[in-house]
Structure 1
Amino acid sequence: MTLSTSFRSWVRACPSVEHPEIRRMIGCRDACAPAEVSFPAGALRDALVARWVRERRWAVDVRTVAELHSAISVGIHPARMTIHADQLGAGGIRRASAAGAGGLVLSRREQIATLRANHTHHVLLRVTDDATRVCASAADAVIGCRSTVLVGLLCEVGAAGSSSAAVGDTLAEMDHIRRRYDVVLTRLVVGLGDALPAVCSSVVRRDLAEEIGESVDDACAALRFPRPVVVLAA
């Protein structure tokens, strides 16, 4: 087989980067670099997208039992999945726990009781408007559980104008956890939500991703907190 024939075979076998959703995802990763990016499992309904994500070992956010089954069925390794527990219910959380997901995002301490005790779970806590009250209660439960390891926090941002405050507040909560429990969290997940088009438009804009990165740097410097790994959830 000649080199040109081999190359043409490779092109035919691989999803085309002209696929609009794949192009959008590549643009999003480029815009958000050097931060990591995780993509919604709903995109895996497209077979070409699913293959692209699987072969490049991109991270995936799973929010429902159906999405969990879909991600597993197309070959996404559980270690590349972050499972958001709020819509799963007790049975769904146990299923995600048994699958060995790379991370579980929890909001309430009662969710911890549903986890399988014979697995070690890496847990992130979701930060809400009443962050200190929620995180204090949930953090007590996570840190006090032998089968869970608290690794980070997740916050949501909307418009670009609110991202600095959200990130700063979340880093302050991470510092509070460090001082209260002597535990240093190493992962900060920022949910982009409605702010996503500002980063992943056809003309790739880096302003929001850069603002988030600068906010992390500023907060870490002010708090003397080790810079966590930053993941932007598309």
Structure 2
Amino acid sequence: MTLLDILPSLRAVMTPRLDPALWPATTHVDDLGRVTVGGLALSDIADRFGTPVYVLDERDVRHRCRTYRELFPEAEIAYAGSALLTRAVAGWTAEEGLALDVWSAGELTVALSAGVDPRRIILHGSVKTSADLAAARAAGVGRIVVESQTEITMLAASCARRQNVLLRVDPELDGHAERSGPVHGFPPDHGHAAEAAARILAQPRLNLIGLQCHLGSQITDPARYATAIDRMVGAMADVRAEHGTILSELNIGGGHGISSTSGDACLDPAVLAEAVEDALDDACARHRFPRPRITLEPGRAVVGRAGVTLYRVAGVKRIPGGRTVVAVDGGMSDNPRVGLYDARHAVALVNRRGAAPVESVTVAGRRCEAGDELAADVPLPADVRPGDVLAVPVTGAYHHSMASSCNAVGRPPVVAVADGTARELIRRETVADLMQREVGI
């Protein structure tokens, strides 16, 4: 029995066990000290589906879709499927009125299988293969974002009917943002963007309807979007001046920052909405350009906080010098962002309330690799033991979508929870699945 069991009133004046900024909207701690999401104890989900397992709060996802629609009533909100795309997620976002971004023929197939209207699908990708473009043309996607001269040539030569396209322009902003790749469209200076626009406009089967940009990821300063809007509207005004064409759409991308550990800065969508509105009014007045329709592409901001990854503790090692390592049954194959981006995460014991004071520990994965530390210097109760269930919040985005089968260990399942029920969206990948690809003997 702990002091909290004897004097439960102390809970009201103690530091909260879970930071509400990091956990799904339906998170709760029950009378047994277990953490629940969607009305289900996470430890019960771990017992039923095994570990590691990705848990996704459907209500949280839908709530964030609705919030964006309410804050940007005149804009198009396109969910960035690269964050997490399953048939269920595609269906949820479509039902909540969002359009959808896809980055490959595979993602497009998932979206179409969920019944998403292809006219509300945008094809992205800094390197689109001929198979990607062929699939998009066959499906009749609403827009294709052109990112290279080669794509202009490939599309112009292969489109059987007129295709709406957006030209990706790099507004070349200074300042910190997590970059998502080395290629970000045509720079507006030195005539590169103007030349690309001219080539598209010269093709009878390509219909240039607007510009698109991407400013990076995990952006927390709305002023970056305001600056980008001014530069992009200026580029649209240049197209009008040179070619007499008025572009009607401005896609300002996504990259909206969210918190992954307590105290992290994040981007408030309400503040962003005010900044976008003011910047659009100012830019259109300054450049004397008619107001275009804005598209935003949140991905991580929609599903990131809705996701929690569960692990089973395999062992606890106390190293001379005071370091404690808690080893779990997952790691870099289901959470590669720690190694790739030096991502930081919180960790919580969720199958019970710890009976011992907290200590600083390192949570390590099952592989002998430098990048296989899920979290360093995180507080956990000192009585954590094998068999306990740990949860890592804010793992709904870029975890399942970037997972691998390293060491021939199958990728985890994705389980949706809502109103006291759980259902698999993606089943666990098995050794039999991996062996089906073996054709060498």
Query: TM tier, shorter chain?
Result: 0.7 to 0.9
Q: Is 1:162 the equivalent of 2:224?
A: yes
- CA deviation vs aligned residue, 1:106-135 (integer Å, no higher than 9, x gap): 111210222233121111011113224331
Residues 181-210 of structure 1: per-residue CA shift (max 9 Å, x gap): 1000000011121x3439xx9996411121
Q: Structure 2: where are the runs of 5+ without partners?
A: 1-56, 173-186, 260-264, 299-441
Give, in angstroms, the shift of residue 18 of structure 1: 6.1
Shift of 1:147: 0.3
| Bigger Cα displacement from structure 2, 97-106 vs 181-190 | 97-106
C-alpha deviation, 1:233, in angstroms: 1.2
Q: Which residue of 2 aligns with 1:172?
A: 234
Specify the SS of the correspondent of 1:114: helix
CA-CA distance at 1:57 after TM superposition: 4.8
| Further displaced range: 49-58 or 136-145 | 49-58
Partner of residue 133 from structure 2, selected from 87, 93, 105: 93
CA deviations over 1:11-46 (Å, ceiling 9, x no partner): xxxxxx962212222222223333221102244416
The reply to whether residue 77 of structure 1 matches residue 117 of structure 2 is: yes
CA separation in 2, counterparts of 1:191 and 1:19?
Answer: 24
Question: Which segment is superposed worse, 67-76 or 167-176?
Answer: 67-76
SS where residue 230 of structure 1 aligns? strand
Give runs of aligned pairs for residues 63-74 of structure 1, distance below 5 A.
Answer: 63-74=103-114
Q: Matched residue of 2:161: which SS? A: coil
Q: Distance in 2 between matches of 1:124 and 1:58?
A: 18
Query: Residue 147 in 1 paired to residue 205 in 2?
Result: yes
Asked whether the 8 Å contact 1:28–1:204 carries over to 2, the reply is: no
- Please identify, of 38-47 and 216-225, the stretch whose mean Cα deviation from structure 2 is larger: 38-47
Distance, in Å, in 2 between the alignment partners of 1:202 and 1:51 is 27
Deviation digits for residues 159-193 of structure 1 (CA, Å, limit 9, x no counterpart): 32322211100000000000001000000011121
Q: Does residue 22 of the first structure (1) align with residue 62 of the second (2)?
A: yes
Given the superposition, is the C-alpha separation of residues 196 and 209 from structure 1 closer, same or farther in structure 2, using an over 3 Å criterion?
farther
Instruction: Return the offset for 1:222.
Output: 1.1
Question: Considering only CA atoms, is the larger Rg found in Structure 1 or Structure 2?
Answer: 2
| Distance change (3 Å), C-alpha of 1:93 and 1:106 | same
SS at match of 2:101: strand
Return closer, same or farther for 1:176/1:120 CA change in 2, 3 Å cut-off. same
Name the structure 2 match of 1:35.
75
TM-score (norm: length of structure 1):
0.82
- In 2, the alpha carbon distance for the partners of 1:197 and 1:187 equals 26
Equivalent residue for 1:184, pick from 220, 233, 246: 246
Q: Does 1:109 align with 2:173?
A: no
Sort the Cα spacing of 1:24 and 1:55 in 2 relative to 1 into closer, same or farther, 3 A.
closer
Alignment partner of 1:119 is 2:161: yes
Match of 1:14 in 2: none
Instruction: Read off the aligned partner of 2:86 and give its amino acid letter.
Output: R
Give the structure with the larger helix fraction: 1
Preserved contact between residue 216 and residue 227 of structure 1 (Cα < 8 Å)? yes
Residue 197 of structure 1: SS of its match in structure 2? coil
SS class of match (1:34): coil
Q: Distance in 1 between matches of 2:130 and 2:58?
A: 41
Specify which structure has the higher proportion of strand. 2
Of all paired residues, the percent bearing the same amino acid is 29
Pairwise CA RMSD of aligned residues?
A: 2.4
Q: Does residue 273 of structure 2 align to residue 209 of structure 1? A: yes
Cα 1:56–1:208 change in 2 (3 A) is closer
Q: Which secondary structure does the structure 1 equivalent of 2:245 belong to?
A: coil
Change (3 A) 1:150 1:224: same
Counterparts of 1:190 and 1:53, CA distance in 2: 19
Aligned length in residues: 214
Are the counterparts in 1 of residues 233 and 283 from structure 2 also a CA contact under 8 Å? yes
Match of 1:3 in 2: none
Aligned with 2:126: secondary structure? Answer: helix
Residues 62-105 of structure 1: per-residue CA shift (max 9 Å, x gap): 11222111111111111010111424322211221221110110
Provide TM-score, normalisation by structure 2. Answer: 0.45
Name the residue aligned to 1:4.
Answer: none
What is the rounded CA distance, in whole Å, between the counterparts of 2:248 and 2:169 in structure 1? 15
Give the conservation status (yes or no) of the 8 Å contact 2:249–2:293.
yes
Cα distance in 2 for residues equivalent to 1:216 and 1:82 = 22
